[in-house]
Amino acid sequence: MSVTPLQALPVDQLRQRSSTKWRTYPEDVLPLFVAETDFPLAPAITQRLERAVELGDTGYTPPDPGIRSAFVAFARRRFGWDVEPRRVRSTCDVMMGVTEIVRAIIEPGDRVVVTPPVYPPFYDCVPEAGGVVERVPLTHVDGRWELDLAGIEAALADGARVVLLCNPHNPTGTTHAQESLAALAEIAERHGARVVSDEIHAPLTHAPAEFTPFLAASDAAARVGFAVTSASKAFNLAGLKCALMVTASDATTAVVDALPDEVEWRTGLFGALAGVAAFDPASDAWLDALLATLDHNRRLLADLLAAHVPGARYEIPDAGYLAWVDLSELGWGANPAVKILRDAKVALHFGPKFGAEGAGHVRINIGCAPEVLTEAVQRIGTLLAR
């Protein structure tokens, strides 16, 4: 059955927003950097928030705002993943959840493995939790990004205590294979380590790729793993502040249950209300329409780069709306987004912020109208002719 793509809002309307994407740069800049999308909210979310405002329902978040059961149903429906509600606890956002879990399972000074190029806050949350970052870059073989399992095992054998996983991976858009995740779990268990998996982009996995929740990858993964996720990326709810910490064993659940009450108190009420509406079956059609739009855009970007920015290297991502593009051959330096912002008036995310492996790269947000994406790449292409 065909799905009608979701239509982005007009740019003049988007410029009335007060969020980071639309308030960081002047109006002559097209913003395709931070992870916000340009679409209207799912109707069920709008209706729920409008009702809350009508009621003045702006108080403290209750002990059970419904987000646990809503996520459990969503995970079963969309991923075929059975989650026990008692093993789900909320907090403010994914990186706060990651930080608090890491803080709880390491001793100060312990090393935590990250897999660059990777989401820049990973480099900040580890020291905030008292750990030290240990870099084990992804490998790139035959056009696929993969975990360096041998490198991770060496790090754990040498004393690292935690692997901070990005699944699906940001910025490459890679969905890690079940076999790779199961192998990672076995390695971690063999060395008495834990895995904390950021799974915020999971709802945006594009067919035929499949998302495998880390905790469902194997029995060992259930024993050693923690997952942290949210509706915020798929449904554009980052400002409302609600994330979920998920476990699958008694030992890991005890860790999350023992976190200070304040960790859960940080959950935003509007975030919880919006998350319940996002995870409801009523929002599935909206999510499917979004996926249709993003699928078109991820392929459109390949065509646009080939036509206007020859020399750019880009592999269509498995998931998400963030495209990782190598512009090294253009000779625009280690951080080509600086030149692109200055001379083409297009704001992209700075590649080096994702680690040394990001030199010469940019990350492009394709969660916009095809016309906006087209104009952005055409502007970048004019730099080659100057």
pTM across the whole model: 0.97
The pLDDT value recorded for residue 143 is 86
DSSP string, 17-54: --SHHHHSS-TTSEEE-SS---SPPPHHHHHHHHHHHH
Q: Are residues 110 and 199 in the same domain?
A: yes
Q: From 234, 261, 282, give the residue that closes a domain.
A: 282
Specify whether 327 is located in the same domain as 379: yes
Q: Are 105 and 194 in contact (CB under 8 A)?
A: yes
> Dmax over Cα atoms in the chain, in whole Å?
62
Give the domain range for residue 292: 11-41+284-385
Q: Are strands 132-135 and 111-114 parallel, antiparallel or unpaired?
A: parallel
Last residue of a domain, one of 251, 282, 313: 282
Both structure tokens of 8: 């982005």
Residues 276 and 368 grouped into a single domain: no
Does 240 lie in the same domain as 185?
yes
Q: Where are the alpha helices (DSSP H) in 143-249?
A: 149-157, 178-190, 219-224, 232-235
Residues 248 and 306 in one domain: no
Can you state the angle between helices 269-279 and 43-55, rounded to 10 degrees?
150
Whether 160 and 257 map to the same domain: the answer is yes
From first to last of the 386 residues of the chain, give the pLDDT tens digit: 689 999 999 999 999 999 999 999 999 999 999 999 999 999 999 999 999 999 999 999 999 999 999 999 999 999 999 999 999 999 999 999 999 999 999 999 999 999 999 999 999 999 999 999 999 999 998 889 999 999 999 999 999 999 999 999 999 999 999 999 999 999 999 999 999 999 999 999 999 999 999 999 999 999 999 999 999 999 999 999 999 999 999 999 999 999 999 999 999 999 999 999 999 999 999 999 999 999 999 999 999 999 999 999 999 999 999 999 999 999 999 999 999 999 999 999 999 999 999 999 999 999 999 999 999 999 999 999 77
In a domain, 73, yes or no: yes
Domain identity same for 101 and 199: yes
Residues 189 and 139 in one domain: yes
Number of domains in the chain: 2
The pair of structure tokens assigned to 360 is 């010469």
CATH number of the domain residue 105 falls in:
3.40.640.10
Same domain, yes or no: 176 and 99: yes
Q: Counting beta carbons within 10 angstroms of the beta carbon of residue 146, is it exposed (0 to 12), middle (13 to 18) or buried (19 or more)? A: middle
How many angstroms separate the CA atoms of 176 and 370, rounded? 28
Q: What are the backbone angles phi and psi of residue 202, rounded to the nearest 5°?
A: -55, -45
- Cα angle at 245 between 259 and 200, to 5 degrees? 145
- Given 282, 297, 331, which residue is the final one in a domain? 282
